[in-house]
Structure 1
Amino acid sequence: MNSKKLRFGSTITTILVIAVCLCMLGQSASALPSSSNVAIIGGPTVVNGGTLPTTGPTYAAFTFTTVDPATVNAATLAPYDTVVLNMAGSVGMLCNANALSPSQKADIVAFVGNGNKLIIYDSECSAIDYSWLPYPFTTANPGALGATGTLTIVEENTLSTALPGPYYIDAATLASTTDAVGDMNVMTTYDPNWCLDMSGTNAIAATGPVHTYAKYPAGTDNGLIIYNGLDVDYMGWSITELDQIWLQELQQPFSPSNLPCGVTVVGISLSPASDVNPVGTQHTVTATITDLLGTPIPGIDVTFNVTSGPNAGESGIDTTDGSGEATFTYTGDGGVGTDQIVASFYDSQRQTTVESQTVTKDWEEGGNGEIPEFPTIAVPVIAIIGLALFFQRRN
């Protein structure tokens, strides 16, 4: 083998190594964050018993700062990527939402809208006013009864899963050996933007969502809000499930979260959340109807409507199958623009029409408008290959 071939082989090897490094850099640049700099409004100590852990090797990756609610504003929140709103916090909160002024609440919402994370705890508080949140809700609050209840993990995700693995939570043990579930606060009114992670029944026989999340603003995966209504008396004890849930809330990526939102708290979910297609092609959305424990409900008539956009007025009806799914397909022949689509069904138990979250469809001329990640890596790789071939020809 002559020296030119050896030099060429060496050049190709070098190119491949550089290309792999560039690919790794591209992946690293898009790596999802977890919490790092955490402000705890009200402090980690819970006035009704329990403490949110903040010390020790498990939490070495996080920096925690107690923030008095009186000092909250956009400037004081700016250094942090995560805010924990401990409604039962012993520093100024004391289960009183009015410890925060309307402008302070607006600053917290704006903080999430800027691509940050908000985690809400209200352990053993009486009913809290959450009307100021972008997706308001009310709760059923048993108080400190020291009772047990039942808990179901509805969605398998990085906040919790019933499957063996790093995110496993033993819901049965948590429910039967502590008062975390019996004394938990569960949602009783619902906004379709809340996604269901855990649901259960507390000591006053109220069944509803207890661990939920929402992406904000609606239709994006920018900011993330997590609500945790579990009682935290046993946090830090030998039963470690509460600690694990807290840790996984902190570790949860955001902006984007990539959480699936497969089941919303209203019982109807619509997917995909967004999509892009050329004008004149077809688009299909799927509605899934479940109960509060995530069990699919067949035989439900679902109405689909394009509420705004170039194809506004398109509609259809389908009946859920054994998987609780119904579909709607329409042709985007209305021109360029963004459709907004909702699905709804009549809930005979609540005797009201329940509407899904809004999903979007972007219609574009001459292609699907999707730009893959590869070209950002391919451009420098192609340039390196071109230079290598140039110098090879010179040799």
Structure 2
Amino acid sequence: MIDSLPDDLRAGFAEDDDAAWAAIEVQGYAELQASEAATPAVNGTRPPQDQQPPAPGGPLAPRQVDLGPYLDGTYSPPLPSVGGLRDDNAALLYPGMWHTVIALNTAGKSWFALWHTVAVLRAGQTVVYAHFEESTPAGTLDRLRQIAPDLTAEELRERFVWLDCTRRWEPGEFAINLPPAAALVILDGINSACAKHGWPVDKPEAVGAYRQLFVSPAVRLGAAALSLGHPPKARDRQGERHGFGSTAWLDEVDGVGFRLEASRRTPIHLGGRGYSRLFTVKDRYGQVEVRGTLEAAREPGWYYMGAFTIDSSPGIGNTAAYLIAADPAQVAEPPTDAIDALGAEVIDLLAGLDDHRFGSQRKLGDLLRAAGVRVDDKILGPALERLAMRGQIEWPQVEARRARPGWLPKIRTAVQVDE
């Protein structure tokens, strides 16, 4: 099987390489050739004829690329324009590029994907959803209808394409199942996808095989591809920028790598309002992260983009999904002592309250204890003063013996996706 590879790929295999990896490379190369040859040009994304890959078994084509279109003054860097908008109208996804969102369970990855899905469907475009962890569209459609009850059954039948991922995909099969008009392709469940195809998820070769089989056909159509996955299993490694323990899950992303971190006190949950913090950890063209706030306390590359919120509180009607823009005043520095640590708990608690405010220091202490925070009343006042000095909360002075309320500053009005 190794002998069937082109010379440039076969040279990378030693005689004692695992035959399974040879098969993966053969499959990926064959799929890449077949799908590139068969896929029509859409949105101007197919390369010129003289840059097409050779037909299987044919002579190898030259690899030198004409730089003229990039040097004649007409080229402009890509801009994000696909999917949901933050409440300041900032878009997050680039057309024709691969994006990932990595997060632990319950952080809202699927909600994040559906938030983008709703925006694309409302724009009259087509979304493809490939869910490698669910055998039917029942759960996904239920969530989608919760946040977008205005979308009719007819609209969903026409422009929401659910692909059956209960069995492994053959080379080229995924590409021929993508409608040419697809604007967004969701790939939900990186780990499950790799398991179905026998690819060890923590190996960089798996990333290449996954990308060739699923991602490349989507981006060649000009669609934004969004893959959903998990961070490394080890707790002491879950703050790493990449997922599954392989840097390739981030290295090969040519769009944006996102991370979602659930609020400790107000996570996304059924029947209430919760949120997760959204970060970018890679943005090749920089047009998304420029709208965020650098997290200087983390390893380089983390930008805070805001609070991704799901509100399913009783009495509000349909479930609301929205992203509140990042405010530097609300990005707490890492705790350096007990006062800072308590201050971080205060910010986290207030961010999860509907009105983002407290009526008095005593009432704030009660709220913190109810949320399971151990509160030392002797340092609560100093913690609030420190937050106020940093501009992270508003806590104006009042007359003696009057309740002294406080609140988060600069909270923007969230824009629901169904407006």
Q: TM-score, structure 1 length as denominator?
A: 0.27
Q: TM-score, structure 2 length as denominator?
A: 0.26
Q: Counting strand residues as a fraction of each chain, which structure ranks higher?
A: 1
Q: Counting helix residues as a fraction of each chain, which structure ranks higher?
A: 2
